[in-house]
Structure formats: C-alpha cells, structure tokens
C-alpha cells in the first residue's frame, strides 16, 4: 500500500507531531525534575515488515539487544489507530531510573519498569494524539496503555495481523541533560484511517491558508 503525501502534507504532519512531543517533554520534565527535550526529526510511512526491519537495524547499530519495550494504546474517533511507543529494552530501564531516582536497586527497578514505562507511554502517546485531535478539531479517545517486551516484529504484531495496514513511524529524539535516547512511535493505520488522516491534514492546511 503506497502512501503519497505532498511535501506540504508531510511538513504539516511533522510540525503537528513536534508540537505533541513538545507537550510530552514538558510533562516528562516535571516528573524527572530536569529538562527534557523531544523532537521528531523524521516521519515515514512503512509496511509492518519494513517498520520491524528499521527498528531491528537501529538497535543493532546502537549495539543494544534486539528486545524492545513497547507501550501501546488503541485510539478511536476521527480515525482509528493503534499507537505504540518503542524504546530499546536497555534504554527503557535508563528512563525508568531517571523517573524513580538513582537510589532504587536494580531488582526493584525492573519491577517498576512496567508501571513507569506505561506512564511514559501514556504521556507521549496522548500528547501526540491529543495534539492531532486539537489541530484537526476532532475527538480521539484512547484505551489504557498495554506494556509489551519482545522483538520489533512481536511488538508491531501485538495489535493483530492485518494485511492492509501501513505504519506511520515517528523517529523521536529524547534528550535529557546527560542522556540521549532514540525511540520510535508507530501509528498502525488501515486504508480508511489513512484516508481520514490525509483528509484531516488537508482540512487543517485549508484552515491555515484561509487565515492568512
């Protein structure tokens, strides 16, 4: 399934997601009591297999394990999507340590990982989707976050195998004072959700143009 976005549509989507992760970064800064900056340097539309390959390659390049922590939420409303936040497993523990402080022993940290990562996923995914909903002037409601650990293929397949889906991948740079962590957010969209998303971007652009 080929996805054609014009340069204008693509830039608008990157701009919208950058607003979303900016809000997420502000929430995260409050939790870890240090400045967090997040940006979305790139977005791409991929098949599920290509998305899994991209994640696997990124992790191998970083020298990390192939296992990924994923937090997923299902959203309904203006369009339907499964949104998944993903970090390499070793990096997710680093983020959890930042949230709960240095004094917590590693054993306790692993037990807190699921809860802390679900909370981070909730913040980041809801900020991204909430910004889309506000800008598109539409309702989008999310399910509770679900935590998974596995290979990139397992994480992307957890929401069920549908042949007609495309993955909108956001590459996220997550920068704290002493850390730089690369993560990804995947939005799994079927043909009608993709069509709805494209339509919403164009309505947003039309409104933006109309204001000038």
CATH of residue 182's domain is 3.40.1550.10
Closest by CA position to 85, among listed 193, 178, 189, 171: 171
Model confidence pLDDT, tens digit, residues 62-109? 666 678 899 999 999 878 899 999 988 888 877 887 777 777 777 777
Tell me the whole-structure pTM to 2 decimals: 0.88
Domain residues for 154? 7-210
pLDDT digits 0-9 by tens, 153-212: 888 886 665 667 899 999 998 888 777 888 899 999 888 888 888 999 999 999 988 865
Residue 16, domain member (yes or no): yes
Indicate whether 2 belongs to any domain.
no
What are the φ/ψ torsions at residue 35 (nearest 5 degrees)?
-70, 130
- Number of domains forming the structure of the chain: 1
Per the CB < 8 A criterion, the answer to whether 47 and 54 are in contact is: no
Residue 126's nearest CA partner among 197, 182, 77 is 77
Is residue 1 a part of any domain in this protein?
no
Let me know if residue 146 belongs to a domain: yes
């Amino acid at each position: 399934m080929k996805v054609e976005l014009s340069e204008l549509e693509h830039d608008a989507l990157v701009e919208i997601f950058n607003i979303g992760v900016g809000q997420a970064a502000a929430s995260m800064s409050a939790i870890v009591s240090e400045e967090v900056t997040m940006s979305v340097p790139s977005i791409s539309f991929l098949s599920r297999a290509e998305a899994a390959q991209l994640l696997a390659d990124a992790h191998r390049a970083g020298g990390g394990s192939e296992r990924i922590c994923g937090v997923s939420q299902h959203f309904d409303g203006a369009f339907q999507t499964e949104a998944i936040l993903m970090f390499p497993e070793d990096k997710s523990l680093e983020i959890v340590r930042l949230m709960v402080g240095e004094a917590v022993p590693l054993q306790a940290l692993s037990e807190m990982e699921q809860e802390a990562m679900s909370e981070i996923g909730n913040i980041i995914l809801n900020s991204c989707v909430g910004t889309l909903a506000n800008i598109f002037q539409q309702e989008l409601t999310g399910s509770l976050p679900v935590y998974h650990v596995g290979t990139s293929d397992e994480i992307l397949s957890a929401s069920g195998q549908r042949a007609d889906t495309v993955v909108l991948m956001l590459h996220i740079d997550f920068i704290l004072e002493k850390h730089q962590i690369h993560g990804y957010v995947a939005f799994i969209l079927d043909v009608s959700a993709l069509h709805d998303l494209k339509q919403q971007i164009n309505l947003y652009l039309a409104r933006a143009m109309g204001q000038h």
